[in-house]
Chains A and B, each alone.
Chain A
Amino acid sequence: GAVVSQHPSRVICKSGTSVKIECRSLDFQATTMFWYRQFPKQSLMLMATSNEGSKATYEQGVEKDKFLINHASLTLSTLTVTSAHPEDSSFYICSAGLAGGYTQYFGPGTRLTVL
């Protein structure tokens, strides 16, 4: 149980375009989902906390207008990287927590390459 999926696993896009990444909890309802960014050989950096039915809470230094997060249902959160640039190239990981629980379960990640 507690499986989280992400789609796509890899995406290559041109500079200036927008990319949407989906995060789904497959076998449980997640009132809260989290979006992380991970640079090579580094730890995970929390970008934002996504709550179902409300606005996401962004970490300091993360541009809200660039990284749009929508949590429309208890099983789906999306991250849209708008007007992507090469410096946005990274590994993006989502996680979800069981309602009432305290453990986060992670998706397999999405590698974004912006040309």
Chain B
Amino acid sequence: AQTVTQSQPEMSVQEAETVTLSCTYDTSESDYYLFWYKQPPSRQMILVIRQEAYKQQNATENRFSVNFQKAAKSFSLKISDSQLGDAAMYFCAYRSIQGGSEKLVFGKGTKLTVNP
């Protein structure tokens, strides 16, 4: 079974600075999807960014980018020019392609605090 590990329970960053959240995963599959979701205090889960494992190019969405290292099974999220609204829980998630399973496997999350 796949597992997702987020080793940083909490992180903090100064407004306008850059922060990187770590995520590693364990799988024997060669193709899969990876996601970062954000859960602000409202508790609404919001998709931040997604990556297909077969794509070598790292995904980017405005201030959010990933460093996808397939061999190392690492999928870190970089937030540039941090804003107060970025404060939230961030969850890394894995989705298998094989076997028809659409389930997401989540990490335990990283709480990000943005200091003014």
Mask: chain A, 77-106; 1 = CB below 8 Å from B; 0 = not:
000000000000001010101000011111
Give chain A residues whose Cβ lies under 8 Å from the Cβ of B45.
44, 93, 95, 106
Which of B33, B42, B44, B104 makes the CB contact (< 8 A) with A46?
A: B104
Give chain A residues whose Cβ lies under 8 Å from the Cβ of B50.
103
Mask: chain B, 78-115; 1 = CB below 8 Å from A; 0 = not:
00000000000001000101000011101111000000
User: Which range holds the interface residue count of chain B?
Assistant: 20 to 34
Give chain A residues whose Cβ lies under 8 Å from the Cβ of B11.
none
Q: In the complex, which residue of chain B has the Cβ closest to the Cβ of A104? A: B104
Contact B95 A102 (CB under 8 A): yes
Contact A32/B42 with A43-B91, A43-B107 known, Cβ cut-off 8 Å: no
Interface residues of A (CB under 8 A from B): 32, 34, 38, 42-44, 46, 49, 91, 93, 95, 97, 102-106, 108-109
